[in-house]
Amino acid sequence: MGKSPKSASPRYDVTGRLTALLDAGETLLVQGYDTAQPQLIADTAGVSVGLFYRHFRNKQELLTAIMIRHLDLLHSQITLALSASVSPVEALQTVLLLNLQYFQQHQGLIKLFFMQIGYGDASATERLQPTRQTYRTLLLQVIESGIAQEVFLPPDQLDVQLAINSIIGTINWSLYDLLVVQDTTFDPEAFAQKLTTHLLRGLTR
């Protein structure tokens, strides 16, 4: 009789361990960026510090990965909301409101990202590029729908990429001013309405 096959070894849970690192990293980094050293993050996640360095060179890369995970979740929410049949104006307001609600819920992380990474980190910019492109594509769909329905300005009067930049820049710099410069909170619904009114001045006929 042939030998019985050996029991398969448990698979190494790469995804689970990475998730644990991201979860522990987010909690500790927001609590105190300077004190959240890789060894402490690894210990809290229940993994080796070697695994930390297998995925990330430093805390900045970990923070960027945490931001990417959150942005992907936010963009999934926006995609689902936009799948409903809404007018272009409602769609724009929905995008703004979901952004502001999500960022308010995670304002500690958003503030930390602004302060530690911002827009000057070349590595973070490269890693964030696919996520940012997803966001730009969602905004492009909203604007193109508004143009097609003759709610927004026609293509010869509206630079679409500039309009996308304007929307993103308005959200980001407004949040930076509120969370970092003023160090204050905000009402997402009221602020989304204010931003919608402002942005529609450059979009509508």
For 170-203, what is each residue's pLDDT tens digit? 999 999 999 999 999 999 999 999 999 999 999 9
| Residues in the chain, total | 205
pLDDT in tens, 55-110: 999 999 999 999 999 999 999 999 999 999 789 999 999 999 999 999 999 999 99
Write the CA distances from 52 to 100, 133, 156, 169, integer angstroms.
31, 27, 51, 33
CB 160 within 8 A of CB 144: yes
Classified as helix, coil or strand, 204 is: strand
DSSP secondary structure letter of residue 177: I
Rg of the chain on CA atoms, in Å: 21
Euclidean distance between the first and final Cα of the chain, in Å? 83
- Taking alpha carbons only, the member of 112, 120, 95, 107 closest to residue 196 is 95
CB 149 within 8 A of CB 71: no
Read off the pTM: 0.89
Residue 42 CA to residue 46 CA, distance in Å, equals 6
Question: Which helix or strand (DSSP H or E) is residue 21 part of?
Answer: helix 14-31
Q: What is the mean pLDDT of residues 118-129?
A: 87
Residue 201 CA to residue 196 CA, distance in Å, equals 9
Calculate the CA 134 to chain-centre distance.
10
Q: What share of the chain is helix, strand, coil (3-state, %, to 5)?
A: 70, 0, 25
| pLDDT at site 205 | 87
**Within 13 Å and on the Cβ side, how many CA atoms surround 192?**
19
Query: What domains can be seen in the chain, in order of their start residue?
Result: 13-56 (1.10.10), 59-200 (1.10.357.10)
Residue 49 CA to residue 94 CA, distance in Å, equals 41
- Predicted confidence band of residue 12 (pLDDT cuts 50, 70, 90): low
